[in-house]
Amino acid sequence: MLMKKILGIGNALVDTLIEIHDESIFSKFGLQKGGMEMINAELKNEIHREILGLKQTIASGGSASNTIYGLAQLGAQVGYIGKIGEDEVGAFFKKDMEKVGVTTHLSYSKIDTGIATTFITKEGERTFATYLGAAATQTPEDLQKQVFSQYDLIHVEGYLIYNKDLILNICKLAKKCGLKISMDMASYNLVEVMRPLVEELLRDYVDIIFANEDEAFAFTHKKERDALEALSTYCPVSVVKLGAEGSLVNVNGEISIIPAVQAHCKDSTGAGDIFAAGFLYGLTNNHTIPDAGALASKLGAKCVETIGAKIIL
């Protein structure tokens, strides 16, 4: 499978990362530890008042944008579709993506740019409180055939499943333009709620699926190799990430076991996104599956040793 130009589409967000020692903030704001909760502007403002005195790290974010950013750092030809506000946060997002060579295809909203507030516990687990803002106003009308036709593969953010009309139109336009479709599953709690739509996407459109062990279980009700085999009945290329235990890959019925690269975990934010960047880079440059997986594991390990989803290559 040799593909060269990769397009990403997802929720264009700016990540605000906070290391915490007191986990009571989860119950205070109704957040599920280790999960991702969609929040409104009012709750976002309440949370940001609460964290005002805490050390914060800011970077462009969103699952698909993290993957595309990583691919750009590796030298891939990449583009990104998203929607931002006409504000300083949106301008920061655009500049941060373009500085590594991403071609941005952005549309604009009168609503503020989205922010993903990410709480990182001492063991490196992350919990998201996501205010979509302008990203939530992205519609099928923002999709342009001439943009899609410039690329060979599109990496679709699983979090877009909250907008059924949008994600179905993305997939239909991608297939019409001859693109392969890669998708990273959303948080396990969203997969549980939106399982029928996830199944429709995998069955009818997706060629490459990435899932961590929690997401894979939420969809298949199976673990590890059994989960991989279940996913492979839908997609030609299936990847189940097992954290410190490595990952499993099934390509057209051939299973590869990818060892993990040992790392001291400071923050798991974006590790799966960067893993996907490494794997897709290898796949699109005709590497063997073990080599593509080894690159993915190396980058994922490097990511967990830093705060945030951006790594220096």
Task: Report pLDDT for 58.
Answer: 87
Task: Provide the whole-model pTM.
Answer: 0.90
- Secondary structure class of 142 (helix, strand, coil): helix
Q: How many contiguous H segments (helices) and E segments (strands) does the chain have?
A: 12, 14
Task: Report pLDDT for 308.
Answer: 63
| Helices of type H across 99-194 | 145-148, 164-176, 188-193
How do the domains of the chain map onto residue ranges? 5-10+63-112+138-304
Answer whether 159's CB lies under 8 Å from 190's CB: yes
Tell the CATH topology of 5-10+63-112+138-304.
UDP-N-acetylmuramoyl-L-alanine:D-glutamate ligase (3.40.1190)
Q: How many Å apart are CA 62 and CA 253, to the nearest integer? A: 31
272: enclosing H helix or E strand: helix 271-284
Distances (CA, A) of 279 to 65, 192, 282, 286: 15, 26, 5, 11
Task: Report pLDDT for 1.
Answer: 46
Task: Report pLDDT for 125.
Answer: 85
Residues of the chain with pLDDT under 50: 1-2
